[in-house]
Amino acid sequence: MSTPGEYYRSLPPVSKTYGVACLMTTSAYYLGLYKFWTIALQYELVLKRFQVWRLITNFFFLGPFSFPFAFRLIIIAKYGVSLERGPFDKRTADYVWMFIFGALSLLVMAAIPPLYSPFMGPSLVFMIVYVWGREFPNARINIYGVVSLKGFYLPWALLALDLIFGDRLMPDILGMVAGHLYYFLTVLHPLAGGRNLLKTPLWVHKVVAYWGEGTQVNAPVQSDPTAGIAFRGRSHRLGGMATQASSPSQAQTRDQVPVQPPNPAADGVAFRGRSYRLGGH
């Protein structure tokens, strides 16, 4: 069995970052480092007092420590990781774009008064469940050891459980709407012969490349070679040519050392030199 540290290091970067950020946000709230209304989504304060951080921080609060909070973290650790290792494998920028698009969609929906919620994190987590159900429609899911169903019906089963437990249904429904909108624009519409209307923007690729975590197949930008590394590059001699810093044992170039006479045995030749004719010079 792997240790908790090994399990943590094995997690893919996007799901790990979001899950840890949500856990730290709730932990900081219980430590009294902030009041929950200072990070809640309030458009009036965003527009009048320019408290733009509320547009982001509200997605990291999944509620106080409770069973629903733990269940949402499990969703990130199980279904979010499954998406990142499965359909989004080697597509880190696309996975980040899915989160960004989901957050933007939820912010637009939250601007409608009947759909407003001060914290849209639960809806973003439920979007993960919906996309996972569409990507793994035939996977077998066992809920509490009682009900077994296909992955396609998982979002609806969780919606029914919230109804039974008396939890609010609106966050789940908004997450399903955002998830279906993303899946339709990126998968269903292109499969029907349409154009991909939700291609990952270049700036997202640049952010992921600068972040230095994860990989992106056929990325339009190169990963930052110095991300997380103290030194990497080439060494240069003034007036000379560059050599690889990571390969000190490589042969030096001709302009860095004087030219040496050829070594007869260096290239495997038995004899090298001038030829003489017998009786001649």
Report how far residue 91's alpha carbon sits from residue 83's, in angstroms, rounded to the nearest whole number. Answer: 10
Q: What is the pLDDT of residue 117?
A: 93
* pLDDT tens for each residue of 100-113: 999 999 999 999 99
Query: What's the pLDDT tens digit per position in 235-265?
Result: 344 444 444 444 444 434 334 434 444 444 4
Statement: residue 38 has pLDDT above 60: yes
pLDDT class for 18, splitting at 50, 70, 90? Answer: very high
Residue written as token pair 């999944």: 62
Question: Which is nearest to 124 in space by CA: 172, 92, 86, 163?
Answer: 172
Q: Residues 102-129: what's their mean pLDDT?
A: 95
> Kind and range of the H or E element at 190?
helix 189-191
For residue 148, report the phi and psi dihedrals to the nearest 5 degrees.
-115, 130
Check residue 224 and give its pLDDT.
54
pLDDT of residue 220: 78
Residue 274, pLDDT > 90, answer no
Whole-prediction pTM value? 0.77
pLDDT tens track for 206-232: 999 998 888 887 677 766 555 443 333
**DSSP output for 33-70:** SS-GGGSS--HHHHHHS--TTHHHHGGG---SSSHHHH
Q: Look at the alpha carbons of 168, 169, 172, 173 in this order and tell me if their dihedral is positive or negative.
A: negative
Side-chain half-sphere of 46: how many Cα atoms within 13 Å?
16
Residue 31 has pLDDT above 90, yes or no: yes
